[in-house]
Structures are given as C-alpha cells and as structure tokens.
Structure 1
C-alpha cells in the first residue's frame, strides 16, 4: 500500500507526513513537491518524493502512478477548479483507491465565496467513484496570527466579524485526522471538523490569559480593521483579503457545530488558551 501526501512542503502537509510516518512504514509514503529542490529536506527525513504541480495535468498523472491512498490538500484560490480536476482525473486513471480531501466547513450550507471550489471538487471526487472522506476543515488558529500579532504589538485586539463564531483548532489537529484518514482509519464520507464555535471576543480573552497581557478588545468597522493590520506591517491587499474572511465569519460561514472532530481524533481538542500558548511562546 502506497500513500501520497500533496502540499507536502506546506504547514498542513508537513504535519500530516509526520503523523502518517507513525502509522504506516515511511518507505510507503510519498510526498508531492513542485521541484527536486523543494523535496531535498523531505528526502533527508526519509520520505519518497514525487514531482508534480496541480496546474500541470501530465505531471499529476505521473505523480499518482503506483499510489493507493491519496491525501489531497486543496490548492490555493485562483484557478483551483481546473487544477483540482487534474488531480482527480489523474487519480481515477491511476486506480487510486481512496482520497481524503481537505474541504471547507459546512460546505453544503456555507455562503462564503471560498466554498464553490470545494463543492466542485467534492462533486468531482464523488463522480469519480473513488472511496473518499471529505475533511471539512473549519478555521486554523494559525490563520489568526496576523490579527494576534497586531494585538500584541499595539495593545488592541481589533476585529470586524461582529458576533460571528468560528470553530478554531490547531492546524496539527486537523492534519492528524487527515493522516489517520489516509492511513486507513474507517471514517464516514464526510467529517465536519470544527472546534466549539466562539466569537473573536472569546478568542481575545483567551489571548489575554495565555500571554498575561492587558489588551483592549475592539469590535471595529471594516476600515479600522484594515488600518490596524496595515499599521502593523501587512500590505493593503492582504489586509483586504483578511477583511473578506471577517465578513464570512460575520455571516456565520464558520459557525458549524459538530462532534466529528474529537471523535475522529479520539481525544479532546486543545483549548484556545493552550493553543495560543503553543503558537506564541
């Protein structure tokens, strides 16, 4: 049985590889990278490396040859539907028996513009006939590090998501479930992986406890939110993108209540306070 982890040089893929090597022989694990150079470190750790790029259909056909089980980490927004089609078609042609795909929380109900690509990909996988698990990941706590960094720098925790709630958890926790899925753990075809949904005010309070720092918690208008990030070194276009995430959260796109995550992990999720300590200290 051979396993392929895509997005292997990213944070999620890296965590997944580390978990997977504790579950199956490392000699059976392949890591997908975009160039030989990017694969050097992974080779040194003992992983097999395959070269491929979602945008290049022929490279993906080559990369999935001989692979039985695939951890398909979603690509970056942009040309994602075309790229994801390349992956799924290559997997089907190569006889891949199982795909674990990192999707979006509550994808069939969410209103976020980010959802369309994930629903498209879920449908592709379903239509391929390949056995699968859709890992509908909520928000990584790591995604909030620019907001958290700005708060610790300025003394003001500024957010624009109103009372919208998010089911934060650590990236490594999502990746552990992904590794378990691709290793062969029996899961349903869809897992809603969400922590307990809470507001930014709750997150900010956890940050105060984790750091011992006194912070002003500021529910701000859009303009003030963007200005706060830019003042702390974020380029304007990136700050605008972060504002779009705030809008999604304000519209309850990530307010997903599910017990799937802790059941799949087989243990409680790390608390927000402990998770923040892990990321900051």
Structure 2
C-alpha cells in the first residue's frame, strides 16, 4: 500500500506526515512537493518525493502513479476549482483507491465564499466513484495568532465577529485525524471536525489564563479591527482578508456542533487555554 500526502511542506501536511509515520512504513509514504529543492528535507528524512503541481494535470498524473491512498490537502484560493479538478481526474486515472480531502465546516450548508470551492471538490470526488472521507475542518487555533499577538503587544484583543462562535482546535489535531484516515481507519464519508463552538470573548478569557495577564477585550467595527492588525505589523490586504473571516464567524459559518472530532481522535481535544500556551511557547 502506498500513501501520498499533498501540501507536504506546509504545516498541516507536515503534521500529517509525522503522524502517518507512526502507523505505516516510511518506505510506503510519498510526499508531494513542487520541486526537488522544496522536498530536500523530506527526502533526507527518508520519505519518497513526488513532484507535482495542482495546476499541471500531467504532473499530477505522474505524481499519483502507483498511489493507493491520497491525503488531498486543499489548495490556496484563486484558481482552486480548476486545480482541484486536475487532482481528482489524475487520481481517477491513476487508480487511487481512497481520498481523504480537507474540506470546510458544514460545507453542504455553508454560504461562506470559502465554502464554494470545497462543495465543488466534494461533488467531484463523489462523482469519481473513489472511496473517500471529507474532513470538514472547522478553524485552526493558529489562525487567531495575529489577534492574540496584538493583544500581547498592545494590550488590546480586538475582534469584529460579534457573538459568532467558532469550533477552534489545533492544526496538529486536525492533521492527526487526516493521517488516521489515510492510514486506513474506518471513518464515515463525512467527518465534521469541530471543537465546541465558542465566542471570541471565551477565547480571550482562555488567552488571559494562558499568559497569566489581563488585557482589554474590544468588540470592534470593521475599521477598528483592520487598524489594530495593521498597527501590529500586518499588511493591509492581509488584514482585510482576516476581516472576511470575521464576517464568516459573525454569520455562524463555523458554529458547527459535532462530536465527530473527539470520536475520531479517541480522546478529548486540547483545551483552548492549553492550545494557546502551546502556540505561544
């Protein structure tokens, strides 16, 4: 059995590879990278390297040749539907038997602009006839480091999502479930991987406990939110992208209640306080 992890040089893919090595032989693990240079460290670690780019169908066909099980980490927004279609078509032609795909929380009901590409990809995979698990990942706690970092530097935890709730968890926890799915754990076709949805006020209190310091919690308007991030060193376009995430949260796109995550892990998720301590260590 041969296993391939895409996005292998990214944070999620890196965690998934580490967990996968605990379950299957390293000789059977393949990592998708965009160039020999980018894959050098993985190669030194004893992993097999495949060169490929989602935008290049022929490279994906070659990369997936002989692969039985695929962890398909979703690409960056932009031309994602065309790129994802290349991956699914290449997987079908290569005879891949199983795909674990990182999707979006509550994708089939979501109205977030972020969800459209994931719904499209889920449908492609279903039509392909390839056995699959859709890993509907909620939101990484790591995504809140800019807001948390600003609170540590200027004493203000600023958010614009009002009372919206999010099912935060650590990226490594999501990646562990992905690795287990890839290794062959029997999971349903859809896993709603969400922590307990809570508000930013709850997250702020967890941060206070994690660092042992008090700070001001500010429910802001859009401009105040952007200004706080830009003032902390974030480029304006990135701050505007983070504001769009705040809108998703405000509009309950990540308020997904499910016990799939802890069932899939076989243990409770790390608490917000402990997770923040880990990220800030």
TM-score (norm 1): 1.00
Counterpart of 2:222? 222
Written as runs of structure 1 = structure 2, the 5 A alignment for 1:42-57 is 42-57=42-57
In the alignment, structure 1 residue 127 sits paired with structure 2 residue 127: yes
Counterpart of 2:261? 261
In the alignment, structure 1 residue 200 sits paired with structure 2 residue 188: no
CA apart distance, 1:111: 1.5
Cα distance in 2 between the residues matched to 1:11 and 1:171: 8
CA apart distance, 1:132: 0.1
In the alignment, structure 1 residue 209 sits paired with structure 2 residue 213: no
CA apart distance, 1:250: 0.1
- CA deviation profile, 1:195-231 (whole Å, cap 9, x unmatched): 0000000000000000011110000000000000000
Counterpart of 1:167? 167
What is the RMSD of the two structures over their aligned residues, measured on CA atoms? 0.4
Written as runs of structure 1 = structure 2, the 5 A alignment for 1:20-35 is 20-35=20-35
Written as runs of structure 1 = structure 2, the 5 A alignment for 1:141-152 is 141-152=141-152
Partner SS for 2:31: strand
- CA deviation profile, 1:53-86 (whole Å, cap 9, x unmatched): 0001100000000000000000000000000000
Cα distance in 1 between the residues matched to 2:57 and 2:146: 35
Written as runs of structure 1 = structure 2, the 5 A alignment for 1:25-104 is 25-104=25-104
Runs of 4+ residues over 3 Å off in structure 1: none
Segments of structure 1 that go 5 or more residues without pairing to the other structure are none
Segments of structure 2 that go 5 or more residues without pairing to the other structure are none
Partner SS for 1:53: coil
- CA deviation profile, 1:91-135 (whole Å, cap 9, x unmatched): 000000000000000001112100000000000000000000000
Cα distance in 2 between the residues matched to 1:41 and 1:146: 28
